[in-house]
Structure formats: structure tokens, C-alpha cells
Amino acid sequence: MEWKRRTINVAIQVLPEADGRVKYELVDKAIEAIQSTGFYHQICPFETVVECTFEDLPVLLEKVHEACNNAGTQRMLSNLKIQVDFHKNVTIGDKMEKYR
């Protein structure tokens, strides 16, 4: 399954709650976890887009959730968008090139 080792794009939005409210400082912990992976990423106002492989995705998600849990998140809603091309890599640069 060669496609699982190709680069994909994953948009990750987390909405961590503590004390009944979404806490932006907990979102910062999720972003720090993404940065710690070394995967190329782009932080956007509503989500962070990450380049990784499909095989790396479970590890990435575990790091994000564990970081939020360790920071005091009581509940968390995670929204994902995953773009896969079964024949070639998917990159952030390919989509953003015309806007630079």
C-alpha cells in the first residue's frame, strides 16, 4: 500500500474545554505538539494544516490529544480534514503557490 507512505494534508482543529469553556491556551498546547513532530505545517486562524503520511497520522493525533490532556483539558472536540492522492504526494505548497 504505497499510498499510505505518500505525503497527505491533514487539517486539524481542536476545541478543548476546561471548566465548561473553550480555552485558547489549550489550543496552544495542541499547536506545540504539532510543532514538536517536525512535520511541515501551517497555522491558520481556525485550524493547523500538517503534511505527514497516512501512516504517521495516528501518532500525530495521539500527540495532540495527549498534550491537551496533560494541560488540563477535560473534553475535546477534534475536527479533521484529510486530503489523500493515491498516486502522488499532496503538499501545502501546491495549493498555496498561486497566492504567494
Q: Is the pLDDT of residue 100 over 80?
A: no
| Eight-class DSSP state of 55 | T
Tens of pLDDT, residues 19-57: 888 788 999 999 999 999 999 999 999 999 999 999 999
CATH class of 2-99: alpha beta
pLDDT value, residue 95? 86
Tens of pLDDT, residues 72-97: 999 999 999 999 999 999 999 988 88
Using a 10 angstrom Cβ sphere, with 0-12 exposed, 13-18 middle and 19 or more buried, the burial of residue 29 is buried
pLDDT value, residue 69? 96
- Residue pointed to by grid coordinates 481542536: 14
The residue extents of the domains of the chain are: 2-99
- Residue pointed to by grid coordinates 477534534: 78
- Residue 27 forms beta bridges with which residues? none
